[in-house]
Every structure is written in C-alpha cells, then in structure tokens.
Structure 1
Amino acid sequence: MPRLVGGAWREPREGHAIDVVDPADTRRVVARVPEMDPAEVAELYELAEAGAAVWAATSPLERAAVMVRTAALLRERAAEIAADLVAEMGKTRAEADGEVGKAADFFDYYASWARQPYGQLLHDARPGTETSTRTEPLGVVCLITPWNDPLLTPARKAAPALISGNAVVLKPAGETPLVALHLARALDDAGLPAGVLGVALGRASRISAALLDDPRLAAVSFTGSTEVGRSLQRQLAGRDVRLQTEMGGKNATAILDDADLALAIPTVAAAVFGQAGQRCTATSRIVVDRAVAEKVIAGLVEAAKALRPGPGGEPGTTMGPLVSSRHRDEVLGHIARAEADGAVLAVGGSAPAEPEFAHGCYVLPTVLRDVAPHMAIWREEVFGPVVAVRVVDGFDEAVEAVNDSVYGLAAGVFTQDLGRAHEFARRVNAGQVSVNLPTPGWDVHLPFGGFGASGSPFKEQGAEALRFYSRVKTVAIRFGA
C-alpha cells in the first residue's frame, strides 16, 4: 500500500516493505506497507513544518469543514475499513464496526469546537488597557499509537490536534498500519492541505530517533506500554517538547456483597473478555466480597465457556485472536507464572487445541481464582482475556485492594448502596470510575486518562484534550490615556 507524503501517495521502494499478517492465520499476508528510513521521516517533518504554517492560518471553520467531511468519508467507507481492521488486528466484525463509528465521532465532535467561544477578556488594573487571552497551535506534533485500537486512537489524538491548527506526524503500530492509512486517505480526500498530515511507517527501532529528535517537534502524544512511555519521558527531558502519555493499566472492579449479580456478572465478563482483553480499560482484576464470591466466580466461568473464539470476520465468532504470536506467548506465560505462584485456574489457561486454531494467535478466556496480592498476575499488565479474582471481606478491604496497584487508569464497583458508590468514587485512585457499569466504554466528549503509572496529567478526549494541543497567549492593548 502507498503512504501519504506531502499530499501525494507513494508506493514502497523496492525491498523496503513490511508484511502485515492476519492474527487469525499468520500464514496469510494481509498487505505490504512501506518501511521508511530516517531520511524519509525527516522529509515528513520538513513538509509538516510548511503545512503547519498553512493550517494555522486557515480559519477554524474551514478546518472544521475538512473534519466533518473526514467523518462522513469514514462512515461511507466503514465496511472496507472494518474489514481491514478485522484482518490486521483480529477484532470481531462488531468490534471493528464500533471502532470505525467512534473514530468518525471524534472528527464530528472536535469540528464542533470551531463554533465555540475561544479566549476571554480579563480586567486590567492599568487604565485604558484591554487584556485578553487567545489560544494558538503548537506547530508539529507526533502521535504514536498502539495496535489495539488502530483507528480509534489515531482519531482520538488527530482530531483535537487538527482543529487546534497543528500539523501531525502519525506513527501507527507496526502490527496494524492499514487502518491508519485509511484515516490518512479520508483526511486527504476531505481536503486537508498537503503536509498537514504525514504517516511514518516502519519499525520503531529504525526510525524512533528520527521521530523524536527532530528540532521541529513541538509535542508527542503517546499511547502504549508504561515501559515505552517512561522511555519517552527520559528521551524528551530537558527539551521544549510537550509529552502526553496514556500508558498501562491493571483495572479492577469491586463486586460488593449487595451487588445485583444478574447485572454485575455479564457486565464484568464483557469488560474482561471483550476485544480478547486487549483494551487499556479492560477489567483485569476482580475484587469480590466473600459473601458472593463463589456465585461470581461460577458466573464468570460460565460466561467464559460461552464465548466462541475464531476469526473476527466469521459469523458466530464472539472473541477474536490476540494481535500476534509473540503477544499470545506472552499472555500464556503470564498464566503459567500465575499457576506456579499458587493461583488456581478456574477456566481456560491455554490456546485452543482444535486444528483450525493452529496457525492463529488464540488464548482461551481465562479466570484465575485464589489470587493473592504478592502474585505477579495481580500486579502486572497482561493485556489478554485473563482476569485475576481476589476475595475480600467488606467495603474497606475492597477499596484497599482496588488501589493496590501502581496503575490508576480505570476502576469500577457494583453496589446498590448510593452512599458506597460515592465513597468508592471519592477514595479510589483511578482516572475513570464506573458504578454498575463496565470499565471500558467512555464517549468522545468525556475526559479520559489515568493516574500514577497509567499516564501523564494531560487528559485525552473532551475539552481537556484541546489544552494539550494548544498554547495560551495573553495580550494587553493600551487604547487610551
């Protein structure tokens, strides 16, 4: 597939391409995309610098019009985009359809900000002086996005960056570049000026220095592992480059003794196993009161057994594969270590044994019980269809167990006591708190981001995202004596 460079689409150079494979059958090559070198990344920045000047001078209403057209094109092409998303990442078709729709929503939502008030007038103690604030774009921003939501996350970042007037260099994950190219195609077809968007394709080990060391870089927004996010913090330290990070999570949901189990069990099961657990907000720890623990565990086991793994595009599939063979092996390694540490396997714990799964990256939905706080499975992010269950006694122990993590992305509680719900929301250390709801599922206008090792102070989504992609200038004008 070609890549977008300065408003033109270039085919891969001979011998410089990367195969994209289907995680449902790794023998199948889905596409070949360009493998860029550092010089080609530098060219993107050169074009972005020129594009940023044009885009910053463009009326926000004109920017919004491009974004509205982009949203319409994404919806118009939804079937094709979703099919590629299933093929390269492994999601079910329903999950892929949902992602395309939500990506379009980001562009519509941020386009609406072109008609919102901006800046403010401020009283000034100096006579005859009018003081105001205004916002300006930063310039060129680099967006580094993961493989688990390869269209939604670029849209989540690019939409506020673009409406704010910035140029964007997008680096999608190497496993899932196809839908990022669909996004670039939609923006280009919608009339985005040349250079305002460039897509950097290739292996991070080869082009990361070119992406991060360029002097024209004003900001980096990153979604991925905490390990890589911390590395970015060190690499960008001491430079005038903003950094936004949405990193790891070990999200916990507490099921209290008064919970409505008919609501809690299927809701939590969907939060654990949806997208094969490959969501940053997936529930990966369950804290359950001893009074209802056996019922909850039995319900989770039943829900896990009811899931049907398979290729995402196949009718009847309710859970697709993991994104790669390497990731599958890592998840299986976490499960094996948990058992060695003393956790008890209630269901799952392996790859499917049937021959039709032999060349896919599958892990059966897994429930681990009798988990103790010292175990790695309680503390380390797995990012797969695996949940660790810990039994506690009472509300205070439940809150303590939920907070027993270096991460702080999402947390949930199931209770019928409104006082407990508010107290849980007050005491829990997480950026997103759900009551009688799944931990995933936050809409485009709701601020999103975590605490601790889960991310930086800059939030994504909603009005908060615009703060990261713009700077504030204060202007005082003396107009009289």
Structure 2
Amino acid sequence: MSITVEANLVAGRFTTDAAGDPIEVRNPADDSVVGHVPAMGPADVDAVLTAAVAGARTWRATGHIERGRVLLNAAALIRDDADALTDLIVAEMGKTTAEARGEVGKAAEFFEYYGGMGRAPFGELLPDARPGTFSMQIVEPVGVVLLITPWNDPLLTPARKLAPALISGNAVVIKPATETPIVTLRLAAILDRAGLPAGVLGTVTGRGSQIGDVLATDSRFAAVSFTGSTSVGLGLQRKLAGSGVRVQTEMGGKNAAVVLGDADLDLAAAVVVAAAFGQAGQRCTATSRLIVERSIASELRERVATAVTRLRVGRGDAPVDVGPVVSRGQQQDIQDRVAAGLAEGATVVARAPLADGLAAQGAFVEPLFVAVQPQNSLWREEVFGPVLSMVTVDGLDAAIAAVNDSAYGLSSAVFTRSLDAAHRFIAEVDTGQVSVNQPTSGWDIHQGFGGFKESGSAFKEQGTAALSFYTRIKTAAVRSH
C-alpha cells in the first residue's frame, strides 16, 4: 500500500528523499495515522546544512525591511490557513480545538511582532575620544542556527524561535519532535510562500538516535536553541561545552502557585485549575505544585477539588476541557509516576474520571489532585501531565522557601491582596517568571521568557531579549581625516 509522505524543505525545494523508512505520526486520541514524515540520515542532514551555509550569506545581505516583510507575509498566511493548522494540531498533538486555535493565533503574532522589527534600529553610534573619529556598534547575525523544538507546542515554539532568528539575518535548520513534526513542515511551506530565499530555512525530520549527534556536533552551526526535557538539554550543554557554539535551553519546570490567607479564593481556585490542567498539564509553565497557607487550606482544597471533578476529558475536537496526552508512551510514563507517588504516601483529593474505555481508546490520563509531603516524587519531579500536588505551610516565609526548594526555577505565582507580600514574593522567589494573582502560564510574545536553575540557560526567549541569542556585536571606528 502506498503512503503519502510529507516533504522537508531542503535548498528551497520540497523533497521526501530520506535514508530511512518514513516515520508514522499518530493521533493520540485514537491511535489513527495522521501522516508520515521522512526519516533523514546523516547524508540528508548534510545537504540541508550545505544549503543553509549558502542561505546564510544570502539572508545576511538581505535588507532588514525586506526580512521583516517576509515575516509579515508569513503571519498573514498563517491566519489564512488557521482552520487547517488548528485541525492539524488537534489531530497530531491532541490539544483541544480552543487550545490549538490559540496556538495558531499566537504563532502568527510572533511573526508580526518580529516582522515589525524590520524597521527598528539595529546598531548605534558611540562616542570616540580620538580626533576626527566616530565609532559605531553594529548588530550582526551569528550565521547558521539549529532549532530543536518539542511536541507540546508544535507550531508556537518553532514560531517563537524562527521569528527572532530570521529577523536577525540568520539561516535556520529546524528539527521538530518526532511525535508532532507535520505542522512544522506546514510552517516551512508557509515561510517559503512568504518569500524566504532558498537555503535560509531547512527542515530535518528523523529519529534522534540516528541524527541527533550529527546535528549537535556539526561545526557549521553557530548556535543551538533547544526546548525539551531537562535531561536532554543538560546533555546538550555538556556536549557543546568548549565548542564555541552558543546554546540556549528551555527545559523543565515544577511550577508553584502560592495561595496566602488573604487571597481571593474563587479567583485562586479557578486560575490554578486552569493552569494545572490546561493542555492536559503538558506545558513547561503548567502549575504542578500548590502551596497553601494553613488558615485557608481546607476551604481552598475543597474548591479546587470541586473544580477538578467537573473537568471534561475527551477528544480535542469534542467539547472538552482536557484532551489526551501526546502519546501512549507519555500516558504510561504519567501513570507510572502517579503510581510511584501514591506508593510513597500521596493522597488522592479529587480526580476527573474518564469515560468507560477512554484510556484504552487513546492516550488519555485522569486529571488528578493529590495531597503530598514535600519529599514525595510527585512534588519533586516533573510529571508533565494533568497532576496537581498540594502542601500546606505557615506564612509567607515558608511559602517562598517551598517555592525555591526545587531543582527547577521556571515560573511561580502568588495569590494575595497584600502589596507587601506580592513585592516580597517577586523579589525572593528563584524563578524566571513571576505572577501575582495570575497563572504560572500564559506569557505574551513581547515578554521575555525563560527560567533559572535546571529550567533554562542564561538566554531569554521572546521580546527584544530574544534577539541577543541570535546576534553578535561588532564595534567599528572610522577616522575621517
């Protein structure tokens, strides 16, 4: 039986050529086949990189305004294709239709935001003490960059990385996750239609075991931006240490929401449940730890429990709150982690039961709210699924200490009516993102994004801060006479 294979973008043309047998992409809601992508080998990757080196020269010489115009064209094309892209994300990743639609809109906004920077300053004049001399600071692209993107936001994360990399003048090679590669290939086709020159963008699909080391160690890359698991990200940092290649990593999180005794409990409960269980808990910024001041612990626990039992779980294209997780493997991993946490003493407070047969039909996981001790693995380790754990503390000092008692430092939130408590929390928590009376998730495109400790590297994504990773500074002095 013949199959249709999605095409990679290589040197400005679309090709299904690849060394290995095509990779199946399955719908996590029912295990049906969504499509197939090429399984590239080292020689295929080399062709992409060779084209990228040439593309980097072309794109660097392209004016900033023209670069911006291409990105703005891409944003418009994404909006034109919004319905098809939304349906593809639902089928490929399992998000609800509302979540997928939001992802498509935000992807378009990334290209709009950075496309507008085509008319922004990209250097400055500097004072010079030498007579008859003026100096300038010039912002240049770094060259060819590798983007490694995850399955949980298969359109948004590529857009988040591609837009600042391209407006800065770099050529890009992008390797999407094998679970959700098709929408990235569709995005490449959109950028090609938008006017991106040949070689400036190349896509690589394949198995990490076969091409991961080839990609990570090729000396033609000037920078590597990775979003994914902490273990893989830390391994990438170690592999590239001392190579001169820039590395940006956005990794795991164990994000905490603190609810103090003076908080609006209706607001806190609603926001925490949405942040914990939206996207089936598969956000790096999802709330997975709930830290509650003892005086209101029983009341908040009851409100959260009630909200959890009302969550509707099902296919993303149905009227539900929580869709499937991305794969059978992820389903099993979450179930194993929950079983281990319960064996260690975690207590189930509430769950959203699955309809009969749903877990067998697809990669569905029961949303779970548990009470734990701080030593429990459900409290310490990233589950990356619809699991919320709760502990009780006495006062703000203990709450801040509990937030910081983690290997991760991505995002945190506090719910309080006290400005003093809010400012202390912002100042003292060791997380890259901090919210007051807002969720740990939901950061906008112009807001710098990234975590501390094992959640990320020093380079932020989003906003103007993202440009620093994709650019280098050249200082020049000119004596006019």
Whether TM exceeds 0.5 here: the answer is yes
- 2:100 matches 1:99: no
Per the alignment, residue 325 of structure 2 pairs with 322
Distance 1:295 1:98 in 2: 33
Aligned position for 2:402: 401
In 2 relative to 1, CA 46–14 (structure 1 residues): closer, same or farther, beyond 3 Å? closer
1:336 aligns with 2:348: no
Tell me by how many angstroms 1:359 deviates.
Answer: 2.2
Provide the residue aligned with 1:354 in structure 2.
356
Alignment of 1:359-370 (within 5 A): 359-369=361-371
Alignment deviations for residues 234-293 of structure 1 (CA, whole Å, 9 cap, x no partner):
111111210000011000000000000011100110000000000000000000011111
CA distance in 2, matches of 1:274, 1:356: 19
Aligned length: 476
Aligned to 1:5: 10
Q: Tell me by how many angstroms 1:16 deviates.
A: 2.0
2:227 paired with 1:223: yes
The one-letter amino acid of 1:17's match is P
Q: Does residue 432 of structure 2 align to residue 431 of structure 1?
A: yes
1:221-241 per-residue CA deviation (whole Å, 9 max, x = no partner) reads 000111001100111111121
8 Å CA contact retained: 1:42, 1:214: no
Q: Which runs of 5+ in 1 are unaligned?
A: none
* 233 and 15 in structure 1: CA distance in 2 versus 1, 3 angstrom threshold: closer
Is the contact made by 1:103 and 1:152 (CA closer than 8 Å) also made in structure 2? yes
Identity of matched residues, %: 55
User: Would the aligned equivalents of 2:68 and 2:115 in 1 still touch at CA under 8 Å?
Assistant: yes
By how many angstroms is 1:11 displaced? 2.5
Aligned position for 2:446: 445
The DSSP-based 3-state class of the residue aligned with 2:172 is: strand
CA distance in 2, matches of 1:13, 1:335: 39
- Give the direction of change, closer, same or farther, for the CA distance of 1:298–1:12 in structure 2 (3 Å limit): farther
- Report the Cα offset of residue 13 of structure 1: 5.1
Contact 2:103 2:156 in 1 (8 A): yes
Partner of 2:86: 82
Do 2:359 and 2:365's aligned partners in 1 also have CA atoms closer than 8 Å?
no
Cα deviation 1:67-107 (Å, max 9, x = unaligned): 00000000100100110100010000000000000000000
Q: 1:459 to 1:341 in 2, by over 3 A?
A: same
Partner of 2:3: none
| Per-residue deviation, residues 389-445 of structure 1 (Å, max 9, x unmatched) | 000011111111111101100000000011110110000000000000011111100
Paired residue for 2:145, among 123, 126, 141? Answer: 141
What secondary structure, in the 3-state scheme, does the structure 2 residue paired with 1:472 have? Answer: strand
Paired amino acid for 2:161: K
- Which one-letter code corresponds to 2:23 in the other structure? I
Partner of 1:280: 284
Is 1:20 the equivalent of 2:25? yes
Q: Equivalents in 1 of 2:77, 2:207: separation in Å?
A: 29
The aligned amino acid for 2:367 is P
CA–CA distance in 1 between the matches of 2:68 and 2:328?
A: 41
Matches within 5 A, 1:99-248: 99-248=103-252
Q: Residues 404 and 15 of structure 1: is their aligned pair in 2 closer, same or farther, counting only changes over 3 Å? A: closer
> What CA distance in whole angstroms lies between the structure 1 residues aligned with 2:122 and 2:66?
16
Aligned partners of 2:368, 2:376: CA distance in 1, in Å? 16
Alpha-carbon distance, 1:378 to partner: 1.1
Q: Equivalent residues in 2 for 1:37-76 (5 A)?
A: 37-76=41-80
Distance 1:15 1:232, change over 3 A: closer
Local SS of the residue matching 2:235: helix
Q: Is the 8 A contact 2:19 2:41 kept in 1?
A: no
Which aligned pairs between 1:400-419 and structure 2 lie closer than 5 A?
A: 400-419=401-420
CA distance in 2, matches of 1:470, 1:295: 51
TM-score (norm 2): 0.97
Q: Deviations over 1:312-368 (max 9, x none)?
A: 012x1211000011111111111111111111011239x836124412111111001
Is the Cα contact below 8 Å between 1:12 and 1:33 reproduced in 2? no
Answer yes or no: is the 8 Å Cα contact 2:20–2:41 preserved in 1: no
1:186-222 CA distances to partner (integer Å, 9 max, x unpaired)? 1001010001101100111110122112121100000
More displaced stretch, 446-455 vs 8-17 = 8-17
AA aligned to 1:319 is V
Residue 347 of structure 1 aligns to a residue whose secondary structure is strand
Query: 1: CA distance between counterparts of 2:193 and 2:446?
Result: 26
8 Å CA contact retained: 2:19, 2:39: no
Structure 1 residues 290-329: aligned runs within 5 Å:
290-314=294-318, 316-329=319-332
